[in-house]
Copies of this chain bind each other. A is one copy, B any other.
Amino acid sequence: MRSYNQYCALAKALDVVGDRWTLLIVRELIIQGPCRYTDLRNGLPGVATNLLADRLRDLEEVGIVRREEAPPPVASTLVHLTERGRALWPAIRELGRWGGPLLAEPGAGEDEEFRTHWLAVPTWLHLVDRRPKDKPIAIEVRSGQDAMVIETEGGEVRTRAGRAEAPDAVIISPPKPFLGLITGRLDLAQAEERGLRYEGDATALTRVLPDRAQSTSRRTA
């Protein structure tokens, strides 16, 4: 991106990460961890391959990512975030928080690309461990073709891309009712009416859901 040529912290930040696709690339690396080029392409539907290559070069130059050759069994170059790159997390988190309500708007999600692991940030924002002393749990979420895991660890809730080894529950749902549930706009019964399904331990779900999602929704029955 052309520089704004302003001696201002925000303008300088946007000089570096204001280019199209740049913050979305960082999003992928934050959620997925170290990625191959192809992993990034899969997580960034719509990006032109030359643009992705250009951006990775730029991001490496400014010290946000680093490329490393993975050892023999993998034999592939992996893109890592540097410490400076991970420092973008608060900015991405707050931009995502601001954008969250747009996902609930009518028409949002129609004819749009989707990956389950994109739910990791909003999920992390809204869930809490209501029984931090109980033994840790893991919940697998399948909303698109890929999967995401919600884990409790030391009273904190963590989310990440991928599958769980032995999940206490598995949620299979279109993105909207799942988001309605975790943001508290819907309770579990209402989310199920809208297409959310789960298998396994229901108490694992209620353990991490916010207050407003706890009701059994007799009012709508």
Contacts and interface: CB of A to CB of B under 8 A. Distances in A.
Interface of A: 1, 4-18, 20, 23-24, 27, 45-46, 87-88, 90-100, 102-103, 108-109, 111-115, 118, 121-122, 175
Contacts of A27: 8, 10
Give the interface centre of A10, A102, A114 by most chain B CB atoms within 10 Å.
Answer: A10
Contacts of A98: 13, 87-88, 90-91
A23 B14 CA distance: 9
Contacts of A102: 9, 12-13, 15-16
A18 B16 contact: no
B6 A114 contact: yes
14 contacts: A5-B112, A6-B113, A7-B114, A8-B27, A9-B97, A10-B99, A10-B121, A11-B99, A13-B95, A16-B102, A17-B95, A90-B98, A91-B95, A95-B95
Interface of A is mostly: helix
Copies in the complex: 2
A31 B49 CA distance: 39
Nearest to A62: B102
A135 B103 CA distance: 47
- 5 closest A-B pairs by CB: A13-B99, A9-B99, A12-B102, A91-B94, A8-B118
Contacts of A118: 6-9, 11
A24 B16 contact: no
Given A5-B46, A109-B7, A96 B13 contact: yes
A112 to B, nearest CB: 4
A90 B93 CA distance: 9
Contacts of A17: 95
B90 A97 contact: yes
A216 to B, nearest CB: 28
A213 B12 CA distance: 25
A15 B103 CA distance: 12
A13 B5 CA distance: 24
A94 B99 contact: no
A88 B118 CA distance: 21
